[in-house]
Amino acid sequence: MLDGNAIAGTLHDVFGGDMTTATGTCGSCGDRGVLAEVRVYLHAPGIVARCRHCESVLLVIVERRGVACVDVSGFAALDQPHSDE
Ligand SMILES: [Zn+2]
């Protein structure tokens, strides 16, 4: 079982910062936690992150022509950490 740390590099590329410490709220069950703790599946079509509590899909990353497309619609809220940059 992989967690959010497995996609830290991909998330960094997409969001331009470390997202493993970002706090997300599940749109299905309301569970709140940092992205480092989500369940990650790399072999779904693209990369899929699921809620550790209810298994709902929170985040999907699909790469098309070298550009990563991110769907975060599974989150009720996603609070990005403050960047030092
Ligand atoms: Zn949930």
Ligand 1 midpoint to CA 83 (Å): 26
Task: Please tell me the predicted confidence (pLDDT) of residue 80.
Answer: 81
Q: Give 45-57 pLDDT, tens digit per residue.
A: 899 999 999 999 9
Q: Rounded distance, CA 15 to CA 8, Å?
A: 10
Q: Rounded distance, CA 45 to CA 64, Å?
A: 12
Q: Give 56-65 pLDDT, tens digit per residue.
A: 999 999 988 8
pTM of the predicted model as reported, rounded to 2 decimal places: 0.87
Q: What is the mean pLDDT of the chain?
A: 92
Closest by Cα among 55, 60, 57, 58 to 78: 58
Ligand 1 midpoint to CA 32 (Å): 8
Q: Rounded distance, CA 81 to CA 69, Å?
A: 20
Task: Please tell me the predicted confidence (pLDDT) of residue 37.
Answer: 96
Ligand 1 midpoint to CA 76 (Å): 10
Ligand 1 midpoint to CA 11 (Å): 20
Where exactly are the structural domains of the chain?
Answer: 2-79
Q: Rounded distance, CA 11 to CA 45, Å?
A: 17
Ligand 1 midpoint to CA 65 (Å): 31
